[in-house]
């Protein structure tokens, strides 16, 4: 995502529209890939399958920045990204290949640690500290909100830690599902408690 060119970004798409639907799809794909290569976009996004339904993935040149869960409206997620980062967005599945491949392996029970680069810009301050600490929670383990607050540097701020986890922009990859209430109760989860329970069972953290 380097410096953009002076080419008319609509020219190829207008040519594609004249060429017919099949050619239009191919030209749109080529245009998206060219825009990504030339730095004419700030956010690339793509849909990915999951056992719970389709999820939306978005990335910048820094890394994966957003995971939209199946119960979240994709258009609303994209609107949020346009406001928070940039309206220069395109659907470019190739830019999300690593994230989609790792998620597939995770859901198959064949991946325990994500390696895809992350962009933390949608969280700041104490929230980011909580999420970074959460990203280090090992596969198949759990911790409490109070423990995560302590690991982020403020043991008494367990409510703020819960708020940070509830607004986690990169769920699954940053495994907020591994954080429970004191006493082992599930607590909340952006994707719903059924999804949280399923993820913990997948990892063997819940029987």
The pLDDT assigned to 169 comes to 98
* Res 39: pLDDT: 64
Structure tokens at 106: 């995770």
Q: Is the pTM of this model over 0.85?
A: no
Cα–Cα distance for residue pair 204/165, rounded to 1 Å: 21
Residue 176 appears among annotated catalytic residues: yes
pLDDT at res. 5: 41
Domains of the chain (ranges plus CATH)? 11-107 (3.30.160), 125-202 (1.10.10.10)
Size of the chain in residues: 207
Please give the Cα distance from 93 to 163 (Å, whole number): 31
Four-residue CA torsion sign, 48, 50, 55, 57: negative
pLDDT at 19: 57
Q: What is the pLDDT of residue 126?
A: 96
pLDDT lower than 50: segments of the chain? 2-7, 9
Helix (H, G, I), strand (E, B) or coil at 122: coil
Closest CA to 199 of 163, 174, 162: 174
Question: If residue 55 lies in a helix (H) or strand (E), which one and from where to where?
Answer: strand 55-59
The answer to whether 176 touches 83, Cβ cutoff 8 Å, is: no
Per-residue exposure over 24-44, b if at least 16 CB sit within 10 Å of its own CB, e if not: eeebbeebbbebbeeebbbbb
Q: Of 81, 133, 161, 176, which is the active-site residue? A: 176
Q: Is 47 exposed, middle or buried (0-12, 13-18, 19+ CB in 10 A)?
A: middle
């Amino acid at each position: 995502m380097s410096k953009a060119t002076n080419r008319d970004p609509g020219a190829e798409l207008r040519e594609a529209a004249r060429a017919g639907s099949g050619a239009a799809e191919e030209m749109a794909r080529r245009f998206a890939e060219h825009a990504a290569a030339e730095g004419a976009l700030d956010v690339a996004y793509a849909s990915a399958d999951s056992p719970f339904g389709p999820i939306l993935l978005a990335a910048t040149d820094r890394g994966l920045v957003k995971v939209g869960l199946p119960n979240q409206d994709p258009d609303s997620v994209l609107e949020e990204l346009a406001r928070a980062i940039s309206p220069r967005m395109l659907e470019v599945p190739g830019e999300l290949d690593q994230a989609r491949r790792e998620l597939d392996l995770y859901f198959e029970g064949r991946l325990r640690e994500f390696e895809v680069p992350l962009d933390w810009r949608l969280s700041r301050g104490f929230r980011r500290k909580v999420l970074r600490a959460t990203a280090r929670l090992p596969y198949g383990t759990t911790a409490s909100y109070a423990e995560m607050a302590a690991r982020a540097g403020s043991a008494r701020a367990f409510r703020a830690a819960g708020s940070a986890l509830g607004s986690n922009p990169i769920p699954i990859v940053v495994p907020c599902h591994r954080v429970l209430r004191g006493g082992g109760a599930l607590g909340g989860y952006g994707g719903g408690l059924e999804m949280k329970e399923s993820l913990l069972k997948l990892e063997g953290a819940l029987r």
